[in-house]
Amino acid sequence: MLPLSLLALCAVLLVAGAVGSAALTPEHLLGALVKSVRGEDLSTLEAIAWRIRLPRVLLAGLTGAGLSLAGVLFQGIFRNPLADPYLIGTASGAGFGAVLVFALGASFPPLAAIGAPLVAFVFALLTVLLVTGLAADLGGLPTARLILAGVVVGSVFTAATSFLLVAAREQSAGLLSRLLGGFGFASWGDVAALAAFTLPALLLAGAFARALDLFQLGERGAALLGLPVETVKVVLLGVATLVTAASVSVAGIIGFVGLMVPHSVRLVTGPAHARLLPVAVVWGAGFMVLADLLARTVIAPVEVPVGIVTALTGGPFFLWLLRRSRRGPAAGTP
Interface residues with other proteins (CB under 8 A)? 20-22, 41-42, 44-45, 47-48, 50-53, 55, 102, 105-106, 112, 169-174, 177, 182, 184-188, 296, 300-305
Return all residues near 309 (Cβ < 8 A) that are at least 6 apart. Answer: 291, 292, 294, 295, 298
Across the strands, what pairs with 137? 140
Looking at the Cβ atoms of 52 and 261, the one nearer to other proteins is 52
- What value, to the nearest 5°, has the Cα angle with vertex 111 and ends 105 and 114? 125
Q: How far is CA 9 from CA 102, 164, 166, 204, 289, in A?
A: 36, 40, 41, 22, 9
- Strand ranges in the chain using DSSP code E only, listed in sequence order: none
Residue 174 C-beta: closest distance to other proteins, Å: 4
The CB-of-299 to other proteins minimum distance in angstroms stands at 8
Residue 78 or residue 183: which is nearer to other proteins going by CB? 183
Nearer to other proteins, 52 or 149 (CB): 52
Q: Which is nearer to other proteins, 219 or 303 (CB)?
A: 303
Contacts of 129 (CB under 8 A, 6+ apart): none
**DSSP state, 169?**
G
Least distance (Å) between residue 101 CB and other proteins: 10
Residue 94 or 267: the one with the smaller Cβ distance to other proteins is 94
